[in-house]
Amino acid sequence: MMKQAQQRVGLLQGTLDMLILRTLLYGPAHGHQIGKHIQRTTNEFLQMQHGSLYPALHRLEQRGWVSAKWETAPDRNRECKYYRLTPKGRKQLVAEESQWKQMAEAVARVMWPAAEEN
Amino acid sequence: MNWWQIKKKDADLERELRSDLELEEEEQREGGISGEEARYAALRAFGNPTLIREQTLAIWSWNWLESLARDLRLSLRTLGRTPGFTVIAILVMALGIGANVALFTVVRGVLLKPLPFDDPDHLVMLYEAGLHEDDTAGSNPVSGGMYDEWKKQNRSYSGLALAKGIRVGLSASGGQLPEKLYSALFSWDVLRTLGVQPALGRDFTQADDNPTASGTVLLSWGLWKRRFGSDPAILNQTIHLDAKPYTVIGIMPAWFDFPDPSTQLWTPVYHDKPEDEMTSFSNHMFRVVGRLKAGVGASQGVADLSIISQRTHNAHLNDPFIFQSARSRPLLEHIVGEIKKPLYVLLEATCCLLLIACLNVANLLVARSAARRKELAIRTALGGGWLRLIGERLMECLLLSASGGALGLLLAFAALHWLMQTRHDMSRVESIHFDGVVAAFTVGVIVLCALFSGLIAAFSSSDKRILGALHEASRSVSGGGARPTLRKVLLTLEVGLTVILLIGAGLLLKSYERLRSADMGCLTQDVITMHLGIPDARYPTAAQRANFYDTLLERVRALPGVDAAGFATVVPGQGYQIDWTFSIVEHPPLPQGSGQFALSRWADRKYFHAMGIPILRGRTFDGGKRLDAANEVVISQSFAGQYFPGEDPLGRHLRARGKNAVIVGIVGDTRYAIGETPKPVQYYPLDAGVETVGTLVIRSSRGPEQFALPVQRIVSEMDRDLPVSDVLTMNQLLGQSTLDQSFNAALLVAFATLSLVLAAVGLFGVMSYIAAQRTTEIGIRVALGAKREQVMRKMLLDGMRPAVFGLVVGLAASLEAGRLMRDLLYEIKPLDPAVYAAVAATLLAVAAFACIVPAWRASRLDPMQALRAE
């Protein structure tokens, strides 16, 4: 338990939106799926807090980057709220992605200057 | 986003969370965990759904609005829990706000709103000035001759028009009784100058306004409605005014009341007045209204007219009564001149009242917050934000003052309704309305009150010693020191303001009393007066006129119960009215350019007896001398003193209006108006048959009012077209002329009483609170042997201290307030010691009374009970 807790880290501020948008690039998904997907893809390294997931989803919806609709899940006999990427959201994803890339490169340049020179 | 949208969103969100939670649960079950376990595991993985819901919802909703709604709910609940406090606070606020809104509405309607005329900023009222060296501020009426010169020669005014208020008798017609009406003489261009059109029919033309034209008249909307049933067919019909025919040419709009509110009809002045009056330079009787040309300043206009006046004066140096210059005032100022000062004083009084109301509510809130100290401390300890707590307090105050404001608005409506009913004589009373500005003012006052009382209360509870409060509250031996101090400061302020109001009210009341008890120089009891006049048109000769009054007086005196009766053109208390220039035949001629004038009245020989005006020397008129032979004059004591110093006036001759009269008697002085010093008067005999309009006075020790009807019957038997009006006892007549003073004094006394009650309530509240807080302490003291008198004295002193401080502060501030009111006072100084002493005594007595009950209760405490109280 202790070990697991140590391995999990909180998300960097502002990256959750990007991750959600990127996840939705595969197709529509409901909240549970999105959370599970991010958790699984990062090998449980990123622990999804539902407390931030849902506010984030609704924030994205309010901004018009995703749209939401109640649909019957294909694998189960129940209705789930599916989120899908809007064209506006796609644009936003591209923008955030490039921003993140620049950021990561900048950080890397400071952190590992030798590697850069080689 | 609307609340119902938020509600929908919330339901949607709940469904989403539930669905996802179930998914999680299923997954857990698939992972091999069974039943309840799976559910708990899911919840653990998920977190607190309610919290998530709230956090998510915050994305959608307007957070602050929601918290505002929460504050509102909370405040409503808190206020509902203490209905007594709530009701008192709302009533206090309602009184304060209501008084302010009502008075502001009046001030706005009367003083601030522009006149309803076309481009009113260019309208001025013009006066003559500069007859004497010191005469620079007077508002002397203008003579017809000077008006003529001004009109012909000036270059500054696009319009100069002339007006004068008079009274006329409207003859009986169509089964309606004759009546006496207030009317105004207008030059043909008054309406044009003001920029007003009749509502129906046409305006006067220049052709109407000359002696040879046939009579024309404009009716007021009210008269048209009342007397002619709003029938438009009255246009071009003929009505009879003072027995002369006039054609109705138009009806004025309902709001039009120039030159004063009682005016009911208008006739052309050059048609009605004889030519010699219209061309005289020394007969000052008209109001002149002017419209300045664009780009011409008021002072420039006055300078222009003054040059004309000076030139005219120089051309007629033998006439000592031609003014040398002109003066002007904005028309609005002329119309509201007399009412401005009292209105502002009353407005200041209501502001004081409002401040007292706010202080009182703040005081009550502070007391309550002290009682809720434990609750607040616990909330703060649990993480309640300071701002949230203040917000809540402000919301409470806003609720209080908003409900107070709503109630106050109703009060203001009622007050204004009452005012319009009782004071329809007030200038511009018709322009008093509730409108957008008043509404904005009301809202502003409400918010201001809420902020003021709320912030005081909020800051009083913002101390950070949470732990101390919790400690203290567990066992209070003596009340915390801070809050009573704040409350005492508030009380001091409140008492101070009350003192100012009390002193203002006291000064007005005393000056009103002085006014009413001023010796008029004649009887004021057992005398009834009636106004009547015979039209020249039907009584063209002096003999007819003299006979009419002879017969009338004879028949009135014959009525059983009448002690005496008389007739005079003007009786004391009816105003200045008329003065005449005169010279004394036996004296050497005065130097050129100087002259003498004195009030002049016509009276019948028994008038002095009827009015109780003493004949000091000589006798009254000789009844045998009539018409042209009536060549006698009676003068007043001050006339004798001023114009015959050191000589005997009896037997001397006065020359006035081209005739000599011999002085046969000296009578006592009278005042032409209440509050004015007696002026010299010359009385001429009614028997000369010159004057036609005046006042009949009847004295009877058996209720003079009973003669109103019999006398009217006599008059209508003698001439069925003669209206009798203004049937008033002498007391009523004087009361009417002091209406303003009594009105102001009554209002201010009402405000002062209210504030005294508020201050007493505040004092009582604080004392009760302090006593309650000290229950344990007092119990210990008594248990240890303190005497009850000692306890009581200590409590009393504690309570009286803020009252005494407040009294001192208030007295000091009243010096300034009294100075402001100086113009409203009659025969008393703003520093009247009796008023100050009375106010101080009243206040201390009320304060002692407010303190004594809690103090007494404290001293009666049973120590054992007090110690067990917590």
Q: How far is A116 from chain B (nearest CA, A)?
A: 41
Which of B42, B61, B80 is where one domain is finished? Answer: B61
Residue scoring higher pLDDT (B298 or B474):
B298
CA distance B159 to B289: 8
Mean pLDDT of B94-106: 88
User: Across residues B266-275, what is the average pLDDT?
Assistant: 90
Whole-number Å distance between alpha carbons of B680 and A111: 110
Same-domain check for residues B272 and B313: yes
Model pLDDT, residue B170 = 85
Chain A residue closest in CA terms to B24: A32
Question: What average pLDDT does the segment A68-78 reach?
Answer: 79
Q: Are residues B700 and B766 in the same domain?
A: no
Residue B76 lies in a domain: no
Q: Which residues contact B576 (CB under 8 A, 6 or more apart)?
A: B599, B672, B673
Ordered DSSP codes for B343-391: HHHHHHHHHHHHHHHHHHHHHHHHHHHHHTHHHHHHHHHTT--HHHHHH
Q: Are B32 and B156 found together in one domain?
A: no
Q: Give the nearest chain B residue to A50 (CA atoms).
A: B46
**Alpha carbon separation from B748 to A100, B69, B70, B451, B855 (Å, rounded):** 75, 41, 42, 27, 32
In B221-330, which ranges are continuous DSSP H helix?
221-228, 269-272, 275-279, 298-315
Does A80 contact B23 at a Cβ distance shorter than 8 Å? yes
Q: How far is B10 from chain A, CA to nearest CA, in Å?
A: 11
Q: Please tell me whether residues B46 and B177 are part of one structural domain.
A: no
CB pairs under 8 A between A and B: 49
Is 70 exceeded by the pLDDT of residue B747? yes
Integer Cα distance of B58 and B67 in angstroms: 11
Is B477 a residue whose pLDDT tops 50?
Answer: no
Please report the pLDDT score of residue B666 as a whole number: 92
**Per-position DSSP letters for B720-775, written without gaps between them:** TT--EEEEEEHHHHHHHHTHHHHHHHHHHHHHHHHHHHHHHHHHHHHHHHHHHHTH
Asked if the structure places residue B837 within a domain, the reply is yes
Pair B552, B674 in one domain: yes
Residue B766 contacts residue B484 (beta carbons within 8 Å): yes
pLDDT of residue B60: 65
Residue B697's pLDDT is: 92
Q: How confident is the model at residue A11 (pLDDT cuts 50, 70, 90)?
A: low
pLDDT of amino acid B219: 92
B20 contacts on A by Cβ (under 8 Å)? 30-32, 80
Does residue B656 sit in the same domain as residue B573? yes
Residue B834 burial (C-beta neighbours within 10 Å; 0-12, 13-18, 19+): exposed
Of B686, B718, B750, the position where a domain reaches its end is: B718
Using an 8 Å CB-CB cutoff, list residues of chain A that contact chain B.
30-32, 49-51, 54-55, 57-59, 62, 76, 78-81
Give mean pLDDT, residues B706-717. 87
Overall average pLDDT of the B289-318 stretch: 88
What per-residue confidence (pLDDT) applies to B83?
A: 80
- pLDDT at B496 exceeding the cut of 80: yes
Q: Is A3's pLDDT higher than 80?
A: no
Give the 3-state secondary structure of residue B304: helix
- Give the mean pLDDT of chain B: 83
Query: How long a stretch of residues is chain A?
Result: 118
Confidence of residue B186 (pLDDT cuts 50, 70, 90): very high
Q: Determine the residue of chain B that is closest to A56 in CA distance.
A: B56
What pLDDT, on a 0 to 100 scale, did the predictor assign at position A6? Answer: 38
- Same structural domain for residues B836 and B700? no
B826: left (phi over 0), alpha (psi -120 to 50) or beta: beta
Nearest CA in chain B to A79: B19
Query: CA–CA separation, A12 vs A16, rounded Å?
Result: 8
Q: What average pLDDT does range A68-86 have in this prediction?
A: 82
| Top-confidence residue, B855 or A108 | A108
Question: A54 to chain B: which residues are within 8 Å by CB?
Answer: 13, 16-17, 52, 55-56
For residue B854, the distance in angstroms to the closest alpha carbon of chain A comes to 57
Cα(A104)–Cα(B487) distance, integer angstroms = 62
- Give the mean pLDDT of B296-323: 86
pLDDT at B746: 81
Could you tell me which CATH number the domain at A10-117 has? 1.10.10.10
Q: How many CB atoms lie within 10 A of CB B549?
A: 21
A9: distance to nearest CA of chain B, Å? 16
A49 and B47 in contact by Cβ < 8 A?
A: yes
Tell me what pLDDT residue A2 has.
37
- Taking CB atoms and an 8 Å cutoff, what residues of chain A touch B24? 32
Residue B842 belongs to domain spanning: 483-516+736-870
Which of B137-141, B151-155, B404-408, B523-527 is least confident? B137-141
Q: Which residue is closest to B12 within chain A, CA to CA?
A: A81
Pairwise CB contact (< 8 Å): A58 & B13:
yes
pLDDT digits (tens, 9 = 90+) for B220-240: 988 898 888 888 888 998 988
Which neighbouring-strand residues pair with B603? Answer: B568, B685
Selected residue of B59, B60, B63 to mutate for chain A interface (largest A Cβ count, 10 A): B59
| Burial class of B673 by CB neighbour count within 10 A (0 to 12, 13 to 18, 19+) | middle
Question: Alpha-carbon distance B633 to B639, whole Å?
Answer: 12
| Shortest CA distance from B54: residue in chain A | A55
- The whole-number average pLDDT for the span B331-352 is 82
Instruction: Give residue B310's pLDDT.
Output: 87
Q: Are residues B636 and B751 in the same domain?
A: no
Instruction: For residue B22, list chain A residues with Cβ-Cβ distance below 8 A.
Output: 78
CA angle B851/B855/B857 to nearest 5° reads 125
Residue B216 has pLDDT above 90, yes or no: yes
Domain C-terminal end among B688, B718, B748: B718
Q: pLDDT band at B696, cuts 50/70/90? A: very high
Average pLDDT of the segment spanning B55-76: 72
User: Does B709 share its domain with B740?
Assistant: no
A99 CA: distance to closest CA in chain B (Å): 25
Residue A13 confidence (pLDDT) above 70: no
Could you give phi then psi for residue B599, rounded to 5 degrees?
A: -55, 145
DSSP alpha helices (H): ranges in B518-571?
542-558
Residue B337, CB half-sphere, CA atoms under 13 Å: how many?
11
CA distance B434 to B105: 7
Write out B558-595 in H/E/C secondary structure.
HCCCCCEEEEECCCCCCCCCCEEEEEECCCCCCCCCCC
Rounded Cα–Cα distance for residues B563 and B702 (Å): 9
Q: What is the residue-wise DSSP string for B203-239?
A: ---GGGSSTTSPPEEEE-HHHHHHHHTT-GGGTT-EE
Among the partner-chain residues A32, A51, A57, the one whose CB lies closest to the CB of B47 is A51
Nearest CA in chain B to A75: B23
pLDDT in tens, B616-665: 988 888 878 888 888 899 999 999 888 888 888 888 898 888 888 899 99
B273 within a domain of the structure (yes/no): yes
User: Is residue B658 one of the residues assigned to a domain?
Assistant: yes
Q: Comparing C-alpha atoms, which of B185, B193, B192, B189 is closest to residue B124?
A: B193
Helix (H), strand (E), coil (C) string for chain A: CHHHHHHCECCCCCHHHHHHHHHHCCCCEEHHHHHHHHHHHCCCCECCCHHHHHHHHHHHHHHCCEEEEEEECCCCCCEEEEEEECHHHHHHHHHHHHHHHHHHHHHHHHHCHHHHHC
Judging contacts by C-beta atoms under 8 Å, the chain A residues touching residue B13 are: 54, 58
The stretch B773-801 carries a mean pLDDT of: 80
CA distance A115 to chain B (A): 40
Contact call for residues B179 and B725 (beta carbons, < 8 A): yes
Distance CA B428, CA B334 (A): 12
> Percent of chain B scored above 70 by pLDDT?
92
The pLDDT of residue B592 is 73
List of residues 6+ apart from B175 with CB closer than 8 A? none
Residue B407 pLDDT? 92
Distance from the Cα of residue B605 to its chain's centroid: 42
d(CA B807, CA B800): 10
From residue B838, how far is each of B586, B754, B843 by CA, in Å?
56, 17, 8
Our count of domains for chain B comes to 4
CB B532 within 8 A of CB B715: yes
B703 lies in the same domain as B667? yes
The mean per-residue pLDDT over the stretch B19-30 comes to 81
The CA distance from B378 to the nearest CA of chain A, in Å, is 28
- Signed CA dihedral, B265, B270, B275, B276: sign only: positive
pLDDT for the residue B750: 83
SS3 content of chain B, % helix, strand, coil (to 5): 55, 15, 30
Together in a domain, B683 and B805 = no
Measured in angstroms, the CA of B23 and the nearest CA of chain A are apart by 7
Residues of B with CB under 8 A from a CB of A: 12-13, 15-17, 19-20, 22-24, 26, 46-48, 51-52, 55-56, 58-60
What is the average pLDDT across A46-70? 82
Q: B59 vs A79: CB contact, 8 Å cut-off? A: no
Sign of CA dihedral A45, A47, A52, A53: positive
Evaluate whether residue B870 is within a structural domain. Answer: yes
For residue B218, the model assigns a pLDDT of 93
My answer on whether B596 and B712 are in the same domain is yes
* Partner-chain contact A54 B51, CB within 8 Å: no
> What pLDDT digit, counting tens, does each position of B436-451 carry?
888 899 999 899 888 8
Is B361 a member of any domain? no
Confidence band, pLDDT 50/70/90 cuts, at residue A8: very low
pLDDT at res. A4: 39
Q: Residue A68 phi/psi, 5° resolution?
A: -125, 145
Binned at pLDDT 50, 70 and 90, residue A7 comes out as very low
